[in-house]
Amino acid sequence: MLKLGVIGLSEGNGHPYSWSAIFNGYNPEIDCPFTVIPEYLDKENFPNNFLSHLGKVTHIWTQDKEKSESVANFALIENIVDEPQDMLGEVDAILLARDDAETHYELAKVFIENNIPLFIDKPLAYTLDEAIKIYSIGSKESLIFTCSSIRFAKEFSIKVTEGTNFVSATVMKSWEKYGIHVLEPVVSMFPNRGQLLSVNKVDMDLGLKVRVVEWEKLKAVFIIAGSMKAPIKIDLMNKNYSKSLIFQDTFYAFRESLRFFIGIIEKREKNIPKEETLEIIEIIDKGL
């Protein structure tokens, strides 16, 4: 069983709680500041639906000792460390569960240099230059697994090789942090999209942002709804049909992305191609 270390928190992101609990289980008597997390965890059967047979989160670091204690108490993590590098020699892999991408290089560097595999939360970086900089640390870029977990959503688990040539997708909040939640599934769903041609942007009233992305064989409109209420949704269209896919099962997507990460470490799964990740970051960058 692998020993895992978790690094967090960033504002508005409860992944250290949820990811750790998917391996360790959780204490329902302990408050979680992200109330939706115990709600969906409570619907699952532990340990049958969890990943406790694959690994255990044994160490945690956050920038705040009280926050570390909060995550550790909720997700049954035994060790709180004072600095991220204190996990070296203690864990087999790292869950870098922060989505403030500007911190990723500094937090990941020491682990990549010491050949420790990392799951780096979405997005890897906001700019293509920064993503390349992270991949350039050390000599083993294969140590880095990074994605939006929604890539693994069962609602989006299809491959479209022909028929659909237009996509419309919607997500809340910001382009740089949350656009990837729909951008990455679309890239994954359309392996035959061809070369990236252009990214155009329109900012509208009410905080709405629209990003129009064109590949050789696919056009997509990404609507970033800001503070307005909107589902994570992908609509597939052509002249003859339309199909709406709406993301619903958060636990499933998180669990399957974590399972895939463990599979990479154990050489049962093949990592997402670096070129695909860099294409996604390039689109984010051009849409800023």
Does one domain contain both 189 and 264? no
| Alpha helix ranges (H) inside the chain | 15-24, 36-41, 65-75, 104-113, 128-135, 175-178, 180-189, 250-265, 274-286
Asked if the structure places residue 259 within a domain, the reply is yes
Number of domains observed in the structure of the chain: 2
Listing from the earlier edge strand, what are the strands of the sheet with 93-96?
A: 79-80, 55-61, 2-7, 93-96, 118-121, 144-147
For 286, counting Cβ atoms within 10 Å of its Cβ (0-12 exposed, 13-18 middle, 19+ buried), the class is middle
pLDDT tens-digit series, residues 225-267: 999 999 999 999 988 889 999 999 999 999 999 999 999 999 9
CA 11/CA 80 separation, integer angstroms: 20
Asked if the structure places residue 57 within a domain, the reply is yes
Does one domain contain both 93 and 170? no
For the chain, the first-to-last Cα distance in angstroms comes to: 41
From its phi and psi, is residue 173 left (phi > 0), alpha (psi between -120 and 50) or beta?
left
Radius of gyration in angstroms for the set of CA atoms belonging to the chain, rounded to a whole number: 19
pLDDT tens-digit series, residues 112-161: 999 999 999 999 999 999 999 999 997 777 899 999 999 999 999 999 98
Q: How many residues comprise the chain?
A: 288
Does one domain contain both 138 and 256? yes
Asked if the structure places residue 278 within a domain, the reply is no
* pLDDT on residue 140: 78
Percent of the chain with pLDDT over 70: 100
* pLDDT on residue 238: 87
Asked if the structure places residue 281 within a domain, the reply is no
Asked if the structure places residue 287 within a domain, the reply is no
Does one domain contain both 95 and 164? no
- Report yes or no: 212 and 219 within 8 Å, Cβ to Cβ: yes
Asked if the structure places residue 134 within a domain, the reply is yes
Does one domain contain both 30 and 144? yes
Tell me the backbone φ, ψ of residue 147, rounded to 5 degrees: -175, 170
Does one domain contain both 146 and 262? yes
* pLDDT on residue 162: 85
Does one domain contain both 121 and 189? no
The rounded mean pLDDT for the chain is 96
Does one domain contain both 10 and 146? yes
Hunting for tokens 């890239």 — which residue is that? 187
> Residue 14 sits in a domain of what CATH number?
3.40.50.720
Q: What is the DSSP string of 129-158?
A: HHHHHHHTSSS-GGGEEEE-GGGG-GGG--
Does one domain contain both 145 and 158? no
- Report yes or no: 264 and 140 within 8 Å, Cβ to Cβ: no
Does one domain contain both 214 and 269? no
Range of the domain at 79: 2-150+252-273
Does one domain contain both 261 and 138? yes
DSSP label at residue 86 = G
Local confidence band at 29 (pLDDT 50, 70, 90 cut-offs): very high
> Residue 158 sits in a domain of what CATH number?
3.30.360.10
- Report yes or no: 127 and 104 within 8 Å, Cβ to Cβ: no
- What are the angstrom distances between the C-alpha of 244 and each of 210, 213, 232, 234? 19, 19, 11, 6
Does one domain contain both 267 and 212? no
